[in-house]
């Protein structure tokens, strides 16, 4: 995770990155994604990510999950693949309720 002093700062940076074209990646399960996700997010579960790194477009990626554990694991994989990654942690950290698709 890039070092930010607060969730608000991380969310602000995530919004900047996504607005500039970064990939927004939800690494929860497809069932969790179907229950609700951030509009525009790509869903590749962390369990599948190792075999699907080529499916993640672009150089910059904002990654999130339910509570932060899976996004941290995904961040390590994506960085090892040469991506610049911002680990948002929990989906709720996105901070824009109107962007949540249910």
Q: Which domains does the chain have, with CATH numbers?
A: 7-95 (3.40.250.10)
Q: Which one is catalytic: 65, 78, 86, 88?
A: 65
pLDDT value at residue 8: 80
Matching residue, tokens 């672009």: 58
| pLDDT digit string, tens, across residues 23-50 | 999 999 999 999 999 999 999 999 999 9
The CA-based dihedral angle spanning residues 69, 74, 79, 81, taken in that order and rounded to the nearest 10 degrees: 160
Has 65 been annotated as catalytic?
A: yes
Whether this prediction's pTM lies above 0.85 is answered by yes
Cβ atoms of residues 48 and 26 within 8 Å: no
Of the two residues 49 and 10, the one the predictor is more confident about is 49
């Amino acid at each position: 995770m890039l070092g930010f002093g607060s969730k608000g700062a991380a969310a602000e940076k995530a919004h900047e990155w996504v607005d500039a074209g970064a990939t927004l990646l939800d690494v929860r399960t497809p069932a969790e994604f179907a229950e609700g996700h951030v509009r525009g997010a790509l869903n590749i579960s962390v369990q599948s990510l190792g075999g699907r790194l080529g499916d993640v477009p672009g150089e910059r990626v904002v990654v999130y999950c339910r509570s932060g554990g899976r996004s941290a694991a995904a961040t390590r994989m994506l960085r090892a693949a040469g991506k610049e990654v911002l680990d948002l942690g929990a989906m709720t950290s996105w901070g824009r309720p109107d962007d949540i698709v249910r």
